[in-house]
Structure 1
Amino acid sequence: MKQKPVKLIECPRDAMQGIHDFIDTDIKAAYINLLLQVGFDTIDFGSFVSPKAIPQLRDTAEVLAKLELHTTSTKLLAIIANLRGAEAAASHTEISYLGFPFSISETFQQRNTNSSTAQAVTTVKQMLELCDKAQKTAVIYLSMGFGNPYGDEWNLEIVEKWADELVSHGAKILALSDTTGVSSPEKINAIVPGLIARYPDVEIGLHLHSTPNTRYEKIQAAYESGCRRFDSALKGFGGCPMAADDLTGNMATEELISYLLAKDEPLKLDMEKWQEALHFSGKVFL
C-alpha cells in the first residue's frame, strides 16, 4: 500500500501560550510570517479562547490581520474551546482548520475548557456542523491520550471508545495528544497502528510533548507505527499551562525534520527560511 505523505504542523501557538510576559503582536506576526515561508503543511498560529484563560493569545485576530498569506500554500489552524470560539474562528476566511482539545480525562476537560466530557461531545457535534457550513475542517485532539497525572482511569479501550464516538459524529482528523509527556515508544506502538487500521478514512496524527532526552525515541516510534501527521514546535518550546505547573515541551521541529530527512521523506521545506525562523525565535522566546 502506498505510504501517505508526511504532514508537518508547526505550533507557535502551543509554544507561546505559556509564556508569562506578553509578546508584542508585531513580533508574533513577524515570526509566524517567517514560518509561513518555510513550507509546513499547517501553522497552528493562535486561539479563540477566553483571554482570561490564555492571556498571551488575546491578540490572535490582530496577529491574523498581519499575516502574509498570498505567497504561501501553508494553511492556518486555530484552537477553540467552545462554540463561541468556533464561530469567531470560522468567521475568518483565512483559517482552514479549527482545533478542539477533547480530553479523555474528565479532570483535564474541566481544567482546559471548563466543561464536562459529555458537554465536550456536544461542542464537537456543534463544531463539526459549523465547519461543514463554513467550509472549514475540524481537528479533534484526543488530549491526555497516553495517560494523565490526575488518577483518572486510562487504557487503550478508553482511547478507542472516545475515538469511535468522535468518528461517528464525523471527525476526519484525530490528533492523539500526549499533553504532559507521559507517552513512551511502547504506548505509541500499542495505540497508533490500531487507530490507523481502525479508521482508514480518518487522518491520525500525533501531538507529542516530551523532555529532550526522550524526543528521538518517540519520533521513531511514531514514524514506525505509521503516523504521517506530526505536530511540533521550533526548539521544542512550549507545553500546556492548563495541564500542570511544570510544562513539558513540544517535540522539537528541527529534530523531527532531521529524522524524516534521514528517512528520505520529501519534505519540500525552504531551509534558508527555516534558519531565519530559528534565528528570529530568540526575539520571541527570551
Structure 2
Amino acid sequence: MSQNKFKLVECPRDAMQGLHTFVPTALKVEYLNLLLQVGFDTLDFGSFVSPKAIPQMADTAEVLAQLDLSSTSTKLLAIVANLKGIESAVQHQEVNYLGFPFSISETFQQRNTNSSIAQSLNTVEEMLSICAKNNKTAVVYLSMGFGNPYGDEWNYEIVEKWADVLVSKGVQILSLADTVGVSTPEKIENILPKLISKFNTTEIGIHLHSTPLERSKKIAAAYQAGVKRIDSALKGFGGCPMAADDLTGNIATEDVIGFLNAQGAELNFNMVKWNEAMVLSGKIFR
C-alpha cells in the first residue's frame, strides 16, 4: 500500500442499527447504492444477526439482493455474531468480508454477542475456516480496545495479548474498536504504532466513536499513528446499541475526507454521489 493510500470503510450499518424506527428496505437500498458509487474501499452494509437483537437489520438479505454492484469497486462487509450468522453470510457471493466483534471485556462480550470471550474465540476460529472455504475474508474488531465502562481490567498488555492470539489464529485484518468513545489522542498514538509495528503483516485498522468536539483530534492522532484503514459514518451517525447508554457517535466520514484531503491523500471519491447521500441521509436519521 502506497504512503498516501488509505482504506476508508463507510459504516451505514453501524449508523442505522440503533435507530428505533425501522428504515424501509427501499430507502436503505437507495442510500447504500449512492454510497457504493462514492469510491470507498469497503461498505459495512448490514449484519446477519438475530432480528430480536437488532431489529433494524432484519432485512439485510433483502437489501443485499437489491444492491447495484455493477459499477463499483467497493467491497461489502457484513457483521456476524455467531456460527448461524457466519453460515448465512457466506451463502451470499456478493459479501467480501465477514466482521466479528471480539471484545477484550468479558462483560461486553456477553452483552454484545451473548457469549464468553472463550466461546467467541472458538467462533472466530470457525469463521476463519468457513471464510477460507468460501473465498471470504474475516475482519475481527477488537472491541473495548481503548478501555471500557464496565470495570473489567484494561491495559495495553491485554490489548496486545488478544491481538497476538487472534493474529496467531490467522486473522489478517484486525480493527481496534473504541466501542464507547473512551479513546483519547494520547491512547491512539501510544497503542496503534506498537500494534502496527509488531503485527506488520496484519492490516491494522481503527473503528472510533467520539463526541463531535473530539473527532478531529482523534482522526489526526490515528493519522500520526500510521493507521491506513479507517472506519467512519456519514455525519458521525450511530453508536453501538449493546454498549453503554450514553452513546457517542461514529467518526464523521466528511471529517476524515477533509483531513486526508488536506494531507494530500489519494481518495478520488465521487463527491457528487457523496453529496447526494448526505442529502438523502436526512430521510433516514431524523
Question: Which bin holds the TM-score, normalised by the shorter protein?
Answer: over 0.9
Report how far residue 3 of structure 1 moved.
2.3
Give the equivalent residue in structure 2 for 1:57: 57
Could you tell me which amino acid in structure 2 is paired with residue 33 of structure 1?
N
Q: Deviations over 1:184-212 (max 9, x none)?
A: 01100110000000011100000000000
Contact 2:81 2:113 in 1 (8 A): yes
Superposition pairs of residues 217-228 of structure 1, within 5 angstroms: 217-228=217-228
- Quote the Cα distance in structure 1 between the aligned partners of 2:5 and 2:152: 35
Superposition pairs of residues 172-191 of structure 1, within 5 angstroms: 172-191=172-191
Give the equivalent residue in structure 1 for 2:8: 8
Q: Within the alignment, does 1:126 sit opposite 2:136 as a pair?
A: no
Aligned pair in 2 of structure 1 residues 279, 2: CA closer, same or farther (>3 Å)?
closer
Give the equivalent residue in structure 1 for 2:107: 107
- Quote the Cα distance in structure 1 between the aligned partners of 2:153 and 2:181: 17
Could you tell me which amino acid in structure 1 is paired with residue 96 of structure 2?
S
Contact 2:181 2:208 in 1 (8 A): yes
Q: Within the alignment, does 1:240 sit opposite 2:243 as a pair?
A: no
Report how far residue 254 of structure 1 moved.
0.3
Could you tell me which amino acid in structure 2 is paired with residue 148 of structure 1?
N
The number of equivalent residue pairs is 286
Give the equivalent residue in structure 1 for 2:116: 116
Q: Within the alignment, does 1:48 sit opposite 2:48 as a pair?
A: yes
Report how far residue 97 of structure 1 moved.
0.1
Report how far residue 247 of structure 1 moved.
1.6
Secondary structure of 2:277's match? Answer: helix
- Quote the Cα distance in structure 2 between the aligned partners of 1:73 and 1:17: 25
Could you tell me which amino acid in structure 2 is paired with residue 95 of structure 1?
V
Report how far residue 219 of structure 1 moved.
0.2
Aligned pair in 2 of structure 1 residues 277, 2: CA closer, same or farther (>3 Å)?
closer
Secondary structure of 2:249's match? Answer: coil
Secondary structure of 1:23's match? Answer: coil
Give the equivalent residue in structure 1 for 2:229: 229
TM-score normalised according to structure 1 size: 0.99
Secondary structure of 2:124's match? Answer: helix
Give the equivalent residue in structure 2 for 1:158: 158
Q: Within the alignment, does 1:73 sit opposite 2:102 as a pair?
A: no
Contact 2:125 2:169 in 1 (8 A): yes
- Quote the Cα distance in structure 2 between the aligned partners of 1:5 and 1:173: 16
Gaps of 5+ in 2: none
Could you tell me which amino acid in structure 2 is paired with residue 21 of structure 1?
T
Give the equivalent residue in structure 1 for 2:36: 36
- Quote the Cα distance in structure 2 between the aligned partners of 1:191 and 1:74: 29
Q: Kindly, what percent of the aligned residue pairs are identical?
A: 68
Secondary structure of 1:255's match? Answer: helix
Give the equivalent residue in structure 2 for 1:214: 214
Aligned pair in 2 of structure 1 residues 266, 80: CA closer, same or farther (>3 Å)?
same
Could you tell me which amino acid in structure 1 is paired with residue 125 of structure 2?
K
Could you tell me which amino acid in structure 1 is paired with residue 201 of structure 2?
D
Secondary structure of 2:240's match? Answer: coil
Could you tell me which amino acid in structure 2 is paired with residue 280 of structure 1?
L
Give the equivalent residue in structure 2 for 1:252: 252
- Quote the Cα distance in structure 2 between the aligned partners of 1:206 and 1:158: 17
Could you tell me which amino acid in structure 1 is paired with residue 40 of structure 2?
F
Aligned pair in 2 of structure 1 residues 55, 278: CA closer, same or farther (>3 Å)?
same
Contact 2:204 2:227 in 1 (8 A): yes
Q: Within the alignment, does 1:282 sit opposite 2:282 as a pair?
A: yes
Q: Deviations over 1:127-182 (max 9, x none)?
A: 00001000000000000000000000000000000000000000000000000000
Report how far residue 244 of structure 1 moved.
1.4
Runs of 4 or more, structure 1, over 4 Å off, are none
Give the equivalent residue in structure 1 for 2:90: 90
- Quote the Cα distance in structure 1 between the aligned partners of 2:39 and 2:172: 23
Give the equivalent residue in structure 2 for 1:143: 143
Could you tell me which amino acid in structure 2 is paired with residue 24 of structure 1?
P
Q: Within the alignment, does 1:198 sit opposite 2:188 as a pair?
A: no
Report how far residue 246 of structure 1 moved.
2.1
